[in-house]
Structure 1
Amino acid sequence: MKTLYRQFTIATLFILAISILIGFTIANIFYITVTKEETIEQNVGVAQEIVATVQNVPYSEESFDRYMQAVAKLGYQIALVDNAGDMKFYGEPFDDTAFPEEAQRVLTENGTYTGLDSFKDQIFMIGHFTNELHNTVGVPFERDGENYGLFIRPDTKLLGTDIHSVLIGFVVAIGLVSIIGMIWLARQLTRPIVQLTEATKHIARENYNYPLDIKRKDEIGQLSESFNLMQTQLQQNDLARKSFISNVSHDFQSPLMNIQGYADLLKSPDLPDADRLAYTSIIDQEAKRLSSLTRQLLLLTSLDQGAYPMKSKEFKLDEQLKAVVRKYRWRLEEEDINLSYSLAPTLFRGDAELLDNVWDNLLTNAIKYNKPGGSIEIALKTIGPDVIVTFKDTGTGIAAEALPQLFDRFYRGDAARKKDGTGLGLSIVEQIVQLHHGTIKVNSKIGEGSEFILTLPHPDVKQT
């Protein structure tokens, strides 16, 4: 597998090599177009000054040699060639002393020889540094009635030793620092990615407690923070899933065991009729409880889907609330509970079937947790673009510490357990309200009752 670290390192080295190649090319182009001609002119000028000095000052043979040696010590390599082709050298020796044909015209035609112009087989400016006789400039001069050719070139070993060493060291240092820096940067970038990869493997094995300690202030740091949030959310979802399965199993098991137990008792031939009727009634109640639980689970599953198909239409919200009240009138009379309502005629657009579940759950809860002789108040009004629906009862109330978990699935207080609730009703209510982009708020005190306030935004709400 090609790791990101390896790819980054290879890419860095490749870019560095391309940069060196481009830099070398640009330097050679500059040398060929600018530096080369200037160097040739400078060397020809030096050669001509030497020749002028030699011709104007009558040197003896010994003095002439000392003078040429002195010039060579200033950083030049010099070759003297006479008409016979004999050569005499001053300064550092040449690696190649072959006399080029083009240089002959210095002696035969009194011309000027520029060796750099004749380098055709060298790559770019490499020829400038070759220590060969043909890499010189040559000028003619006359001494003691004889024609000579003075061929000269700068001694790169002397002239360039210090500066070239510094430059080469500088370039090498830059290269090494760049490579080491890139490798370090690659490790810094890939280390958190490796940690994230390892954390992902642990999450795939349902281990949501893997420590991921990446503290950075860049995009990788943001990714790490998002990953930690995702890990926390997955852990909570996993706990909720396990709790959901446990609660569903318990809520299904309890009525099923009751049904099975009483069904076994009904098999007895000596069972009195009164007991038989009582057991049959219990089985019927438990079956209805199972049916209600199944129906609510199916509705909750449907609401959990990301794109629940809302069946929005215009309907009279006040009439819907009145219909729910009529449906439970018998229970209100049976529990001796007084119900009053103040419902402003309102034409609302929403999912009537879902909202019917909301009113049904809130009203049955108000009846279930009320007390004999208690009361329930239902109000419907419009404030600006919002529809406000209120259910207020004088029941047992809800403890303050229980309010944050009130809308959690299967959450039931002690009073709710005694009333055989499923713990899903208020969770369904909240999700339906949120589907309508609304909010639900609860005010409650122990012993005084509870008030549920629903706010449903509807800019097109109409008073009828």
Structure 2
Amino acid sequence: MSKLMRKFLLAVVAPLLVMGSLSFILTAVLVNRFAEDERYSQLAREANIIQEAIDGNQPLPRDIQGFITIDGQTQRLGGRGPQPVNLPALEKLQQQDVIDVQNQRLLTYQLKEGDTVITTIRNAPLASSALNGVYLAIGVALLVTLLLATGLAYYMGRQFTRPIVNLRSVAQQIGAGKKSVPLPERPNDEVGELIAAVDEMQEQLLQKETLQKSFIAGITHDLRTPLAIIRNETEALAAGVIPLDELPDVTDSIIEETDRLGLLIDETLVYSKLAGGMMPLERIETRLDDLVFDTVGRLEATFEKEGVALVAEAVPVTRRVDRHMFERVLVNFLMNAHAAAPPDSRVIIRLTETELTVEDAGRGVPESDRATIWDLYVKQDGSSGHGLGLAISRLILDSHELVYGVRTSPQGGACFFIRL
């Protein structure tokens, strides 16, 4: 039996046991109270019978247990007839009272008529064997009910815990690296939703693995290409086969490919440090409008080369951000817009009190991709990047606890936004 099953049974059976025990005790008390009332009524009738026998000068009944006191003399009734006894405690009894004699609980009833006091006695109900059958029946009913409830709880518990236990096995197989593990049947409840979540997680893991392989293949190619160019041109330089008038072009090419390798390595290291929490943010009060205009001023010439106008619209806004990291996000958004924007179009960066947006007139981002483009290794169609830029931006914006996303811009392209 699984631990979850034991907890489920304990959660069901324990309250039933407590309620059953309390019900048994309460029933026993109520039955005993009712029996006591009936017993006192019987004692009163027996006392009246004795009184009528005395008034009619008839023999006293021998089947009634009790005492009769006349002129201070007490006699015991029942058994072999009246017997003299000395019981001063009888004088202290109330009309209906309880006494203990030889560890027995007795009920008493006194009927006073002048100098005559008639005291009838009988065993208390709880001490009576007549109620043992009632208590036994209640106890048996309680036990049978508890057994039936336990059996039903066990059956229901197995139906409830089986998919969870099976799901644990599925999780262990997924953790061991097994792919496409069959999932248990989904009930129409929260457990079914949990199984659906695990199924979605499994699909995402497969997608991540596919993307990771694609990224490794892509980054390997991107590393190999500049390395091959650098090696070939360096070997040509070493062999002296390059004319002197071509040396500046060759050296510029080597520097360009080296910068490309450096950028790729830098982005990979930045992502690794941000994801591992090894790059703490230095938040300071920053004029975001100044940051926007400075960034646009540095990139404006790059946009103009492609015939794309870079337009900035900003109002004064101050926020506590890491200036260097926030600028990195802006540059990434703007360069993505630059890559997507068609010639003779505009890329607009707009800053208001509540939002910063970068919009272009390109093809936009399909709604189905708007949640995944922020993941590592994911690249938009036609992108020349490595799938690191937006992943780094996501980590930076998450660390600033800002809401961000992408929607359709008024120009029909993509509009990346950051809510401030």
Smaller-chain TM-score bracket:
0.5 to 0.7
Residue 356 of structure 1, CA deviation: 0.7
Note closer, same or farther for the CA distance 1:312–1:210 as it changes in structure 2 (3 Å cut).
same
Say which SS state the counterpart of residue 365 (structure 1) adopts.
helix
- Counterpart code for 2:144: L
- Counterpart code for 1:213: R
Which of 287, 294, 297 is the aligned partner of 1:316? 287
Residue 210 of structure 1, CA deviation: 2.5
- Counterpart code for 2:241: P
- Counterpart code for 1:272: V
Q: Does 1:213 align with 2:186?
A: yes
Note closer, same or farther for the CA distance 1:261–1:164 as it changes in structure 2 (3 Å cut).
same
Q: CA RMSD in A?
A: 5.3
* 1:321-336 correspondence to structure 2 within 5 Å: 321-332=292-303, 335-336=305-306
Whole-angstrom distance in 2 between the partners of 1:52 and 1:103: 22
Note closer, same or farther for the CA distance 1:397–1:411 as it changes in structure 2 (3 Å cut).
same
In the other structure, the counterpart of 2:390 is 426
- Counterpart code for 1:456: R
In 2, are the aligned partners of 1:262 and 1:279 still within 8 Å (CA)? no
Whole-angstrom distance in 1 between the partners of 2:208 and 2:47: 92
In 1, are the aligned partners of 2:300 and 2:310 still within 8 Å (CA)? no
Which of 65, 70, 82 is the aligned partner of 1:106? 82
Give structure 2 stretches of 5+ with no counterpart: 66-75, 91-97, 108-119, 176-180
Whole-angstrom distance in 1 between the partners of 2:45 and 2:20: 34
TM-score by length of 1: 0.59
Q: Does 1:386 align with 2:354?
A: yes
Say which SS state the counterpart of residue 202 (structure 2) adopts.
helix
Q: Does 1:249 align with 2:216?
A: yes
Whole-angstrom distance in 2 between the partners of 1:196 and 1:444: 45
In the other structure, the counterpart of 2:382 is 415
In 2, are the aligned partners of 1:78 and 1:153 still within 8 Å (CA)? no
**Percentage of pairs with the same residue:** 15
* 1:170-249 correspondence to structure 2 within 5 Å: 172-173=140-141, 175-189=143-157, 191-206=159-174, 210-211=183-184, 213-216=186-189, 221=190, 224=191, 227-228=194-195, 230-232=197-199, 234-235=201-202, 237-239=204-206, 241-249=208-216
Residue 374 of structure 1, CA deviation: 3.0
Give structure 1 stretches of 5+ with no counterpart: 57-67, 69-75, 80-99, 129-150, 458-464
In 2, are the aligned partners of 1:47 and 1:152 still within 8 Å (CA)? no
Say which SS state the counterpart of residue 176 (structure 1) adopts.
helix
Residue 341 of structure 1, CA deviation: 2.6
Whole-angstrom distance in 2 between the partners of 1:347 and 1:153: 95
In the other structure, the counterpart of 1:450 is 413
In 2, are the aligned partners of 1:337 and 1:375 still within 8 Å (CA)? yes
Which of 344, 361, 368 is the aligned partner of 1:374? 344
Residue 14 of structure 1, CA deviation: 5.1
- Counterpart code for 1:363: L
* 1:3-402 correspondence to structure 2 within 5 Å: 3-4=6-7, 7=10, 11=14, 15=18, 18-19=21-22, 22-23=25-26, 26=29, 30=33, 34-45=37-48, 55=58, 106-107=82-83, 120-121=102-103, 172-173=140-141, 175-189=143-157, 191-206=159-174, 210-211=183-184, 213-216=186-189, 221=190, 224=191, 227-228=194-195, 230-232=197-199, 234-235=201-202, 237-239=204-206, 241-259=208-226, 261-262=228-229, 265=232, 266-267=234-235, 270=239, 272-273=241-242, 284-301=255-272, 304=275, 310-332=281-303, 335-349=305-319, 350-370=321-341, 374-382=344-352, 385-392=353-360, 397-398=363-364, 400=366
Whole-angstrom distance in 1 between the partners of 2:219 and 2:26: 78
Note closer, same or farther for the CA distance 1:332–1:118 as it changes in structure 2 (3 Å cut).
closer
- The number of residue pairs the alignment matches comes to 375
Q: What per-residue deviation string (whole Å, max 9, x for no partner) do you get for residues 69-95 of structure 1?
A: xxxxxxx9899xxxxxxxxxxxxxxxx
In 1, are the aligned partners of 2:163 and 2:185 still within 8 Å (CA)? yes
TM-score by length of 2: 0.64
**Larger Rg over CA atoms:** 1
Q: What per-residue deviation string (whole Å, max 9, x for no partner) do you get for residues 88-146 of structure 1?
A: xxxxxxxxxxxx9995671457x9xx9x9676345x69xx9xxxxxxxxxxxxxxxxxx
Whole-angstrom distance in 2 between the partners of 1:342 and 1:264: 42
In 1, are the aligned partners of 2:359 and 2:416 still within 8 Å (CA)? yes
Q: What per-residue deviation string (whole Å, max 9, x for no partner) do you get for residues 215-251 of structure 1?
A: 45xxxx4xx2563464245335523542453244223
- Counterpart code for 1:258: T
